[in-house]
Amino acid sequence: MKLKLDANGNVVLQDGKPVYILDDGREVAHDAAATVAKISSLNGEAMSHRQAKEAAEAALKPFKDAGIEDAAAAAAALQTMANINSGDLTTAAKVQEIKDAATRSANEAVAAATRAAEEKQRTLTEQNTKLTNDLNDHIIGGSFASSKFISEKLAIPADMARTFFGSRFKVDGGKLVPMDQQGNPIFSSTNHGNHADFDEAIQVMVGQYANKDMILKGSGASGGGAGGGKSGAGGGKEIPRSQFFSMAPQAQADAIKGGAVVTD
């Protein structure tokens, strides 16, 4: 899944929502607010199921300690005993048989309820995780696509910049957190005590990148008319900008990492 961009590299919006292109080619508008609300709803539903399961187990504990785990089954067994003439209970084995039957029924009922609650909670957890990952991907991808620094200063498109630097961002509590090469948060040099915003952080990352001259606009080019296949100043291959932008994002990334220079 990736953001849909127009010819100028800007995010395409539909009813104010960014449009994503799915892996099968379909286009959908992502509603971040609805996603956050759904995550909150699923969290509440999962908690409700867990609390109900814990309450049921607490209510059955006194019966379980006595060897009977289901109050309804125990009451049925007592009623059966009351309806049977004492003369019919000729052996202690008959009493034990009735008690064992009630215990088995209670155990089976509790086990079935526990399995159902655990399965429901697992399903809700999976849905929550997927929605959270989709939202985080939307936040990070949208930041790259809408970055003024990337569009004005870098000679590579936003999706390629994400290939290089996307792993240096994470989402914590719905907020973007940039990280340095050691995994430590990058803090703002102007808004002290707070994390750097996206453009400030990506500028720091590019500045620390060893091959930054190859991805910054106006850097590494040998002038107009430079043809593909020529050797660049750094020993890499020169690729015309028009040819470079016709390549797949991964091929672009591989070319830059291999020392290629994008020329005008």
Alpha helices in the chain (DSSP H): 32-65, 71-83, 92-145, 148-153, 158-165, 198-208, 212-215, 241-245, 249-257
In this prediction, residue 195 carries a pLDDT of: 92
Can you give the pLDDT at residue 54? 82
Q: Residue 137 has what pLDDT?
A: 83
Q: What is the pLDDT of residue 82?
A: 66
217 DSSP 8-state letter: T
Check residue 235 and give its pLDDT.
43
> pTM of this prediction?
0.44
From residue 54, alpha-carbon distances to 57, 110, 215 in Å are 5, 12, 57
Alpha carbon distances (Å) from 194 to 38, 185, 188, 189, 190: 29, 10, 6, 9, 9
Domain ranges of the chain: 32-143, 156-212, 220-264
pLDDT tens by residue, the chain, 264 residues: 777 888 887 878 888 788 788 778 788 777 777 777 788 888 888 888 888 888 877 777 776 777 776 667 777 777 766 666 555 555 667 778 888 888 888 888 888 888 888 888 888 888 877 877 778 888 888 999 999 999 999 988 999 899 889 899 999 888 889 999 899 999 998 888 899 999 999 999 998 888 888 889 875 433 333 333 444 433 457 778 777 767 776 777 777 777 777 776
C-alpha to C-alpha distance for 221 and 250, rounded to whole angstroms: 21
- 208 Cβ partners below 8 Å, 6+ apart? 180, 181
Nearest to 140, CA basis, from 111, 110, 177? 177
